[in-house]
Homo-oligomer: A and B are copies of this chain.
Amino acid sequence: MNEAQQERRRSVRRDLHSCPEPAWREFYTTSRIVEEIERIGVDQLYIGRDVVDGDARMAVPDGNELEDWQRKARDAGAREDVLEAAAGGFTGALAVLEQGEGPTVALRVDIDALPITESDSVAHAPATEEFRSTNEGYMHACGHDAHATIGLGVLEAVKESDFKGTFKVVFQPAEEVIGGGKAVAESGHLDDVDHLLAIHIGLDHPTGEIVAGVGGFLAVRQFRAAFTGETAHAGGHPAQGRDAVQALATAVQNLHAIRRHGDGATRVNAGVVEGGTATNIVPGEATLEGEVRGETTPLKEYMSERADTVMSSAAEMHDCEVAIETTAEAPSAVSDDALAGVVYDAADSVPGVTSRLRTDDLGGSEDATYLMDRVQNHGGTATFVGIGTDHPGGHHTPLFDIDEDSLTIGIDVVTEAISQLSG
């Protein structure tokens, strides 16, 4: 690797960072990635409806919202052919290198941003070095700009290496809403994959530290419950109302009170609530956006079934109706020891790597699990690799940033692991 390469990587990362786009709206991002892939040159390139199973997408915003972001991307300089292919929220890309006999190896990176307003503090490098978000209110606060950059870097490095086999890089949209993983998994692109690597930067590990096989993925289900009762005048005819906010409150209390499970960790959150129209009107409508999680997929199912019962009984108790919709979902998954071992060993020889961990817990959810699950169910192995980076602010905070030196470390570790899997 040379200076120019390193400079190009930084430049790509900063370009993506300055134009953060949320789930299914990564129009500019996809265009920029496609440009880089074409510069590198690959054997196959999939975009638009060819990347995902369209019916399996979750949490896709409505048409107006999509068109707004498409327009912004056009203004930012996105390529018209990519915009056209991605219309309707078909963002993301998949590049394939065919380098002869050998295993099929895949790398998954995610590319979407978060609805967080980026800091403009002088302590925040993107602000002082002029690549802060230009989409006000949105931010790459979880490092997916770095993920895309590493994906491109590995693609280029593998092409230049003597790796034998097939190599695929999937640039997945909509991870933050747990909406894209299932759609990529169900596309079938990964069904012939022998070894899948997914990566994440940071996670409280410093620059130079590698986690070979992250574990502790919580299976998750997110839902939206709409309670419907009937309004009434709260002074004159309180009993003529059917109070949707009472139903909501009973549901919230009892969701948290779902019994803990002896088989492992569970989670529940009533994240967003809203209801009622006026102080003196019995509220006839209320909504709850929440989630349940489990250390394993069955534990998530346990929580999910209990949550549905709690919400429907709470509605019934207060003479209301409730409509519950699953807005996002992901299973749990486990990194394979053998493949993690390959990464662990590969990292040993990579310059800049100062610390290696065989495993560590994520303690959150990730829809990479859909892809890991898919590959494992088809007889392959998978691992989720943590690439340390000094990050001043925590993930999902306005001050999050990465140490750009970790880009090269990450690219080198993944490339080295892939080369050890060569046919």
| Most chain B C-beta atoms within 10 Å of own C-beta, residue among A266, A278, A316 | A278
- For chain A residues 223-242, which have a beta carbon within 8 Å of chain B? 233-241
Is A279 a contact of B271 with CB atoms below 8 Å? yes
Of the candidates B218, B254, B264, which one forms a contact with A250 in the assembled complex, judged by CB atoms under 8 Å apart? B254
A128 within 8 Å of B (CB atoms): no
A77 within 8 Å of B (CB atoms): no
Of the candidates B222, B289, B319, B396, which one forms a contact with A309 in the assembled complex, judged by CB atoms under 8 Å apart? B319
Interface flags, A14-28, vs B, CB<8A=1, else 0? 000000000000000
Q: How far is the CA of A74 from the CA of B98 in the complex (A)?
A: 72
Is A235 a contact of B279 with CB atoms below 8 Å? no
| Most chain B C-beta atoms within 10 Å of own C-beta, residue among A248, A258, A271, A328 | A271
A277 within 8 Å of B (CB atoms): yes
CB-based nearest B residue for A299: B239
Q: How far is the CA of A257 from the CA of B317 in the complex (A)?
A: 11
Tell me which residues across on chain B come within 8 A of A275, comparing CB atoms.
Answer: 272-274
Of the candidates B257, B273, B313, which one forms a contact with A256 in the assembled complex, judged by CB atoms under 8 Å apart? B257
Is A245 a contact of B257 with CB atoms below 8 Å? no
A302 within 8 Å of B (CB atoms): yes
| Most chain B C-beta atoms within 10 Å of own C-beta, residue among A249, A260, A272 | A249
Is B262 a contact of A266 with CB atoms below 8 Å? no
Tell me which residues across on chain B come within 8 A of A319, comparing CB atoms.
Answer: 306, 309
A365 within 8 Å of B (CB atoms): yes
Is A238 a contact of B262 with CB atoms below 8 Å? yes
Known: A239-B259, A316-B309. A273 touches B274 (CB 8 A): yes
Of the candidates B220, B239, B246, B289, which one forms a contact with A262 in the assembled complex, judged by CB atoms under 8 Å apart? B239
Q: How far is the CA of A256 from the CA of B241 in the complex (A)?
A: 13
Q: How far is the CA of A286 from the CA of B249 in the complex (A)?
A: 12
Is B278 a contact of A234 with CB atoms below 8 Å? no
Q: How far is the CA of A218 from the CA of B237 in the complex (A)?
A: 12
Is B267 a contact of A257 with CB atoms below 8 Å? no
CB distance from A150 to the nearest CB of B (A): 23
A290 within 8 Å of B (CB atoms): yes
Is B396 a contact of A233 with CB atoms below 8 Å? yes
Known: A249-B248, A309-B319, A317-B310. A234 touches B271 (CB 8 A): yes
Known: A234-B269, A234-B291, A271-B277. A256 touches B262 (CB 8 A): no
Is B252 a contact of A238 with CB atoms below 8 Å? no
Is B266 a contact of A260 with CB atoms below 8 Å? yes
Interface flags, A279-295, vs B, CB<8A=1, else 0? 11111001001110100
Tell me which residues across on chain B come within 8 A of A280, comparing CB atoms.
Answer: 222, 269, 271, 291, 365
A121 within 8 Å of B (CB atoms): no
Is A253 a contact of B259 with CB atoms below 8 Å? no
Tell me which residues across on chain B come within 8 A of A259, comparing CB atoms.
Answer: 238-239, 241, 243, 246, 256, 282
Q: Which 8 A-B pairs have the closest CB atoms?
A: A313-B317, A256-B257, A234-B269, A249-B252, A235-B364, A272-B276, A271-B279, A239-B261
